[in-house]
């Protein structure tokens, strides 16, 4: 092979040039890479401008962008909840270890996510000076005269009034208030989750004698109970059938009579289509179709619990001192799987007694509140449902 290359280098002109230039008759053997740049970048007279541009991008713009991102990131938790809000929760749960539902609603409405000073997404409109007082007058005992900071601030009272209006299924005539209500409702589940986390940590710290006061379990129950109330858009004592579109308090009499006793959405879904249609005969065909869409998209949760003693011959026999492992399997399906299927046994809780009359609210000795909805101001569709 070497003799062949030597012969080519002596007889072939191109091979001779390659040998003289690269030391190899075959040409260059190494692979080279390059970057194609415009000629004006590498020109000598433009070197100052190029260096200035590099300095501006990498020494000014990039550190500024990273700093702004970091400043915003350290203000929030993983669920985008302000750290100032969490500190506010810690303080008030320590002040009031036994917190009633009304008090939880006040704390939720005072979250700093609804304050323009801490959240630039909040819009303060001149029309709020007229529309918010009108809304407050429709909700007695809202607690707007409370003098605790920040419970008496304007943003707190507005957010609290919109939460009450959401739970009472009130029709908001103002588009701006409706937009604010939707924004607040979307934030509430994340805020309530942070409340649960705060209470859990305070309970652990109390048992470790790191904080002076132990949070009552009723406080945790009220916080957890408020989350489904926000999602469903109704008070916990109201009939669950009111979550269906076009169903109002006046229509509940059609669900309970001598022939039928329907007290839950699951029971209503399991009815045969003809029977279900006869119950809601006050709806036209289009309304009935909308109602079925909403009902079919509601969640049906099946919980299977299996307690056992692992690494034991008799896994279902529980003796003193045995370590019992409980496996919970939670399956979420659409309610449409129950349509016409009466073979599935559904368990449900008894709904509380409903109120009647104007929107009123009174605090009972145990701390619960019983607001009542004005039927004339109920909206046809439940909040948040799009059919």
Q: Are residues 99 and 53 in the same domain?
A: no
Sign of the torsion formed by the C-alpha atoms of 194, 180, 151 and 102: negative
Q: Taking the mean position of all CA atoms in its chain, how far away is CA 106?
A: 19
The Cα angle at residue 219 between residues 218 and 225, in degrees rounded to 5: 85
Residue 14 lies in a domain: no
Per-residue pLDDT of the chain (387 residues; tens, 9 = 90+): 677 777 766 677 777 777 777 777 776 666 666 777 777 777 777 778 878 888 898 889 999 998 888 887 788 887 889 999 999 999 999 999 999 999 999 999 999 999 999 999 999 999 999 999 999 999 988 888 888 989 999 999 999 999 999 999 888 989 999 999 999 999 999 999 999 999 999 999 999 999 999 999 999 999 999 999 999 999 988 999 999 999 988 999 999 887 888 989 999 999 999 999 999 999 999 999 999 999 999 999 889 999 999 877 788 888 888 889 999 999 999 999 999 776 666 554 444 444 433 334 444 444 444 444 444 444 434 544 443
State how far the Cα of 183 lies from the Cα of 177, in Å rounded to an integer.
Answer: 10
105 three-class SS: helix
Neighbour count for residue 247 (Cβ, 10 Å): 23
Predicted local distance difference test score (pLDDT) of residue 352: 45
Residue 217 lies in a domain: yes
Q: Are residues 49 and 156 in the same domain?
A: no
CATH number at residue 140: 1.10.3380.10
325-334 and 299-308 strand pairing: antiparallel
Q: Are residues 180 and 108 in the same domain?
A: yes
177, 204, 237: which is the final residue of a domain?
A: 237
The structure tokens listed for 297 are 């998209």
Residue 144 lies in a domain: yes
Q: Are residues 152 and 189 in the same domain?
A: yes
Q: Are residues 123 and 181 in the same domain?
A: yes
186, 218, 237: which is the final residue of a domain?
A: 237
Report the run of H or E that residue 198 belongs to, with start and end. helix 175-207
The answer to whether residues 190 and 81 touch, using CB atoms and an 8 Å cutoff, is yes
Q: Are residues 177 and 201 in the same domain?
A: yes
The answer to whether residues 112 and 88 touch, using CB atoms and an 8 Å cutoff, is yes
Predicted local distance difference test score (pLDDT) of residue 367: 44
206, 237, 268: which is the final residue of a domain?
A: 237
Q: Are residues 58 and 180 in the same domain?
A: no
Q: Are residues 59 and 179 in the same domain?
A: no
Predicted local distance difference test score (pLDDT) of residue 69: 82
Residue 131 lies in a domain: yes
Q: Taking the mean position of all CA atoms in its chain, how far away is CA 82?
A: 15
Neighbouring-strand partners of residue 327: 306
Counting the structural domains of the chain, the total is 2
Domain encompassing residue 163:
83-237
330 three-class SS: strand
Give the chain's radius of gyration (CA, Å).
34
Q: Are residues 47 and 193 in the same domain?
A: no
Q: Are residues 116 and 162 in the same domain?
A: yes
Q: Are residues 186 and 126 in the same domain?
A: yes
Residue 159 lies in a domain: yes
Residue 195 lies in a domain: yes
Q: Are residues 68 and 175 in the same domain?
A: no
Neighbour count for residue 53 (Cβ, 10 Å): 12
Predicted local distance difference test score (pLDDT) of residue 39: 76
């Amino acid at each position: 092979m070497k003799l062949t290359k030597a012969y080519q280098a002596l007889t072939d002109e191109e091979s001779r040039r390659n040998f003289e230039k690269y030391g190899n008759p075959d040409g260059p053997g190494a692979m080279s890479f390059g970057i194609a740049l415009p000629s004006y970048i590498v020109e000598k007279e433009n070197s100052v401008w190029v260096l200035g541009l590099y300095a501006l991008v990498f020494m000014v713009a990039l550190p500024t962008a990273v700093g702004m991102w970091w400043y915003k990131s350290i203000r929030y938790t993983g669920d985008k909840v302000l750290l100032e809000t969490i500190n506010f929760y810690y303080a008030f749960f320590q002040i009031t270890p036994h917190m009633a539902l009304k008090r939880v609603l006040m704390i939720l409405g005072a979250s700093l996510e609804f304050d323009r000073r801490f959240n630039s997404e909040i819009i303060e409109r001149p029309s709020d000076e007229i529309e918010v007082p009108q809304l407050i007058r429709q909700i007695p005992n809202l607690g707007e005269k409370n003098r605790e900071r920040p419970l008496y601030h304007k943003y707190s009272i507005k957010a609290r009034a919109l939460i009450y209006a959401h739970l009472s299924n009130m029709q908001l005539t103002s588009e701006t208030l409706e937009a604010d209500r939707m924004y607040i409702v979307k934030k509430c589940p994340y805020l309530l989750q942070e409340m649960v986390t705060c209470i859990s940590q305070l309970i652990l710290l109390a048992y470790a004698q790191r904080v002076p006061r132990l949070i009552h379990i009723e406080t945790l129950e009220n916080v957890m109970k408020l989350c489904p109330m926000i999602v469903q858009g109704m008070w916990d004592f109201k009939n669950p059938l009111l979550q269906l579109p076009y169903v109002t308090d006046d229509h509940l009499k059609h669900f309970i009579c001598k022939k039928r006793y329907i007290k839950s959405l699951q029971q209503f879904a399991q009815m045969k289509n003809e029977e279900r249609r006869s119950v809601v005969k006050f709806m036209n065909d289009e309304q009935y179709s909308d109602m079925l869409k909403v009902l079919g998209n509601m969640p049906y949760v099946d919980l299977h619990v299996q307690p056992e003693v692992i690494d034991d011959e008799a896994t279902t026999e529980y003796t003193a001192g045995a370590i019992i492992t409980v496996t919970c399997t939670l399956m979420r399906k659409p309610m449409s799987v129950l349509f016409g299927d009466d073979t599935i046994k559904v368990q449900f809780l008894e709904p509380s007694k409903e109120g009647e009359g104007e929107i009123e609210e009174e605090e009972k000795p145990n701390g619960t509140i019983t607001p009542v909805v004005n039927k004339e101001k109920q909206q046809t569709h439940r909040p948040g449902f799009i059919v």
